[in-house]
Chain A
């Protein structure tokens, strides 16, 4: 299963069905996109606990808030752009302000709605929701982490936003990871000595691939998976900042307000240090395949590899990274 290409959204239905069997208070809401968000599996298994709210995201978020006051654990899903975007103020005022126990799943995030074009591509959902007090934001990197995030979110008290996508990648983790996943904890996936790629979402996979390419040239590159963007694993980020000379953030999200911002906000205050950003530039996407869009934004493995090399060489033209080979 680890080698099969899967999308983070594929875990949504599977995890929700398992939760539904374990806890009768788990309810699921969708806004006419249940086959895309993958909540349809829950709908089929537990029709009485599934609310298709139709194309009415604002109301869906409010209904989820109300359900939570009666002891239910609602998971409300739609495309990331329509929950974090259209229903932003409902999330802020009806869920986060009263600190209600509602979980929101934003699927088709980043460029994963590909050919649908810019209207459907949420490149700023993390930025929008990160600014809201009491919100927890998880951007899982693969099927297993998404599965784990959904399961752990159910027993976590308070609002949680889980960012998923439909882009198919190889899994970074195996099934054993589900038990080990912790909200708020980053994971060092690969050790290194000079360069550290701090990545989130599908970019974790691409960062690992880029690290392999760099490694071939003797650049020992660490890769860290930051799936919980808020609250940030400050301890881990500070350790990394102290240990590595070159820091990069890699995210399928705008370079404004996402992982890069979160890391810089922390480091500016506690350990000032240059951080290089790899993310979606401050402009709208367009219709294309996800691969094309990622490449165009420098978010494929090869572009990440190039960017790292360019930074290292720029920093010191005489830098001999071959000397780093042990």
Chain B
């Protein structure tokens, strides 16, 4: 990736952060902290990794992405709009009565959404099933699944990791949005476990560590994923909850609440200033 492209990705990410904050503000509810922490990863996936085409959304051989942490739906919707699956105007209807943009992703109402998720721990199993199905179909398509680090507390996640490793699902890549926070506080305080990397390795996963807001690091990790042919990979992406909005950053309280009018103004202003900086204005 050349420097200009990285810069452009950063600019798009800021623009999408504005859409995320706006849509949650208009909805008066949603999960800004969790959406902002994984937005860069989602953007990188849809821009550089996933072989998907918004004009052929049902193509059999397309790559699949499953947002197992479904509450980050506003980020997914903003990125789907950037990828052409939705219109940016649609984002205003988030969580509204009759809208096809549900609070958590619904595969039947929203183009580009591959699996209905929201109940934590469930998307990862579906991703395993997709990877197993694609292998049976001799498809070259790959499956990517994003999990929250709080989500790892669900036992089903570990059932799924066992399944993925046992079945050698090398066409499957997990990404952990490792922002360190959950609703009740820091993951370590609530019910955290240490040594994520060793745990994942013990299951038989290939583990990669990256800064989830650094496009160069993401590029390296996703390139490496393609080289691993005998087992699934997990990318542990260190992220900042609420990334890009100063007063939301690293605050568990911003996991799932909408900004009020004043907070909304400050947030948008901050993000716009950042865009200006990138543009050198």
- Residues of A in contact with B (beta carbons under 8 Å apart): 27, 48-49, 51, 53-54, 56, 58-72, 74, 89-90, 93-94, 97-99
Contacts and interface: CB of A to CB of B under 8 A. Distances in A.
B116 A97 contact: yes
Nearest to A70: B133
Nearest to B116: A98
A59 B122 CA distance: 8
27 contacts: A56-B156, A56-B163, A59-B128, A62-B128, A62-B129, A62-B156, A62-B160, A65-B126, A65-B129, A66-B115, A67-B129, A67-B133, A68-B133, A69-B133, A70-B129, A70-B137, A71-B137, A74-B129, A90-B156, A93-B122, A94-B115, A94-B116, A94-B119, A94-B126, A97-B106, A98-B107, A98-B108
Given A58-B121, A63-B125, A65-B125, 11 more contacts: A63-B128, A63-B129, A66-B115, A66-B133, A68-B129, A69-B107, A70-B130, A70-B133, A74-B129, A90-B122, A93-B119
Contacts of A64: 129
Interface in B135-154: 136-137, 139
Contacts of A72: 133, 136
A62 to B, nearest CB: 2
Given A49-B136, A94-B125, A98-B107, A65 B162 contact: no
Nearest to B141: A70
Interface residues of B, number: 35
A204 B98 CA distance: 44
Contacts of A53: 159, 163
A158 to B, nearest CB: 12
Nearest to A31: B159
Chain A interface, DSSP helix/strand/loop, else mixed: helix
B126 A63 contact: yes
A66 B108 contact: no
Nearest to B157: A59
B116 A66 contact: no
Given A54-B162, A66-B115, A99 B108 contact: yes
Would you list the 8 A-B pairs with minimal beta carbon distance, nearest first? A66-B129, A62-B125, A70-B133, A59-B159, A56-B159, A63-B129, A66-B126, A98-B116
Given A67-B133, A68-B129, A62 B124 contact: yes
A118 B163 CA distance: 30
Residue of B119, B124, B136, B155 ringed by the most chain A CB atoms within 10 A: B136
A49 B136 CA distance: 8
Contacts of A65: 115, 125-126, 129
B67 to A, nearest CB: 13
A51 B125 contact: no
B162 A63 contact: no
Contacts of A71: 60, 133, 137
A60 B132 CA distance: 12
Contacts of B131: 66
B136 A48 contact: yes
Contact of A27 (B134, B136, B155): B136
Nearest to A29: B129
